[in-house]
Amino acid sequence: MADLRNNFAGIRSPNPFWLASGPPTDKAYNVERAFEAGWGGVIWKTVGEPVVNVSSRYGANAYNGTRVAGFTNIELISDRSVEINLREIKEVKKRWPDRAVVVSLMVPCEEPIWESILHQVNETGCDGVELNFGCPHGMSERGMGAAVGQVPEYVAMVTRWAKQHSRVPVIVKLTPNVNDVLFPAQAAVDGNADAVSLINTVASVIGVDLDTMSPLPEVNGKGSHGGYCGPAVKPIALRMIGDIAREFGPDLRISGIGGISTWHDAAEHIAMGAANVQVCTAAMHQGFKIVEDMIDGLSNWMDSKGYRTLDDFRGHAIPNYVRWENLDMNYEIVARIDQDACIKCGLCHIACEDTAHQAITARTNGTRRYEVIDKECVGCNLCMLVCPVENCITMERVDNGKPYTQWSEDPRNPANRVAAE
């Protein structure tokens, strides 16, 4: 049987599914309901000097029947006092000693302020702290959140303060709103962080009300940029997690965040190097009990693959996550259409004819039939992706007899032609 117990930078939990810092972890009531449902841990909603939040706060993109394909918020950190939050954290940890309780923190970049709040947090008995260097709205305008996370020197500096004044592991939460996430990740390592978590939300405007001409969500006729999350950001998260895992190796613990709605999403994050995962939007959309399916699904899949622990497959995708120039330039595939499964909708032909390589013919002699022109097919996958019938169109490898060749060796590379001349 799969063993889902998790040891994340010394923080133990019965499973790798944690709730990310946000509305679901705003108070003891929510957190205890989450633990009753089976969540392995929580990152308590960011504690700091209490703020005044606005109304409304959330917006969503619906797509193809999914009500919340992408989600945005303009909510800030906790609007409850530090004292109330820390008292509840202490009480919850006493009642749930086997669950991970990590406190998210955000205060101004002044060491005495960090020292003061960390000393208070130390007294709660919590398992760790997460430094919120990611929030892209509201707090960043006040010199916190992403305003810190986008400056590696600040990341390293505050992380050192946290390590100096904290008695528990320090996790640095990274912002995706940077050109290269490796720079702040390196700064966290330089500051001696115990782990990193990513991604925080992506700076965005979810939409515009064309009647009021206000960006959404609307606050009395006005709008502001917010933080984008939910299923739509999973590809961004996987890329950044993979970049860090490839650069720093398995010793740097990564808590994967971004677009996790199912056990499959979680497994992808772990395969790309995450040691555990954090969930927020999916819980807000479907409630805390989704963790039951996540636990069962991951356990069953691990059993089917022969993986006993999470470390048995953690980071296993990284050796295959290479830079573009290391891909095989001579690998060749072409599309194949299963005529028995084809429903004659023509989407493959339209997509290829209008926007790709004119490699699918449309025959109409009495009945419609779509066929691939092998010599024109470049193996781009577009037809397979637009086809509404699963496995109707597949991609088949062509044995062209050509050896593996990467771009640096390929004769089509202009640099090689110049060298040859």
DSSP string, 289-319: THHHHHHHHHHHHHHHHT--BGGGTTTTTGG
- Give the class (CATH, top level) of 6-320: alpha beta
Q: Residue 335 has what pLDDT?
A: 98
Which of 61-75, 183-197, 235-249 is least confident? 61-75
Q: Residue 418 has what pLDDT?
A: 67
Query: Is 383 within 8 Å of 370 (Cβ atoms)?
Result: no
* Tens digits of residue pLDDT in 60-111: 998 888 899 999 999 989 999 999 999 999 999 999 999 999 999 999 999 9
| Cα–chain center distance at 407 | 30
The whole-number average pLDDT for the span 344-357 is 97
Q: Residue 327 has what pLDDT?
A: 97
* Tens digits of residue pLDDT in 279-301: 999 999 999 999 999 999 999 99
Count of beta carbons in the 10 Å neighbourhood of residue 79: 12
In the predicted structure, residue 170 carries a pLDDT above the cut 80: yes
- The percentage of residues in the chain with a pLDDT greater than 70, rounded to a whole number, is 99
Q: Burial level of 260, CB count in 10 A (0-12/13-18/19+)? A: buried
The whole-number average pLDDT for the span 28-35 is 98
Q: Residue 419 has what pLDDT?
A: 61
Q: Burial level of 353, CB count in 10 A (0-12/13-18/19+)? A: middle
The conformation of residue 182, written as its DSSP 8-state character, comes to H
In the predicted structure, residue 421 carries a pLDDT above the cut 70: no
Q: Where are the domains of the chain?
A: 6-320, 328-420
Q: Give the separation between CA 415 and CA 326, rounded to whole angstroms.
A: 15
In the predicted structure, residue 378 carries a pLDDT above the cut 70: yes
In the predicted structure, residue 394 carries a pLDDT above the cut 80: yes
In the predicted structure, residue 5 carries a pLDDT above the cut 80: yes
The conformation of residue 323, written as its DSSP 8-state character, comes to -
In the predicted structure, residue 11 carries a pLDDT above the cut 80: yes
**375 — phi, psi (to 5°)?**
-70, -20
Q: Residue 44 has what pLDDT?
A: 98
Per CATH, the architecture of 328-420 is what? 2-Layer Sandwich (3.30)
The rounded mean pLDDT for the chain is 95
Catalytic annotation, residues: 135
Note the helical H segments in 201-331.
Answer: 234-248, 263-271, 281-286, 290-305
